[in-house]
Amino acid sequence: MSRRNRAFLLVGLLAALLIAGVGSYYASSSPDGLEWSAEEEGFGSTARDSATAGSPLADYAVSGVDDGRLSGGLAGVIGVAVTLVLAGGLTLALRRRRGGDATEAGAVPGEPVAADRAG
Residue-wise pLDDT tens digits, 30-66: 767 888 898 899 998 888 888 888 888 888 889 999 9
Nearest to 25 by CA among 95, 64, 62, 76: 76
Q: Cα–chain-centroid distance for residue 109?
A: 26
Evaluate the CA torsion angle 97, 100, 105, 111 in order and state its sign: negative
**Confidence band (pLDDT; 50, 70, 90) for 97?**
confident
The residue that leads in pLDDT, 101 or 19, is 19
pLDDT tops 90 at residue 87: yes
CA distance 44 to 31: 11
Mean pLDDT score, 80-107: 79
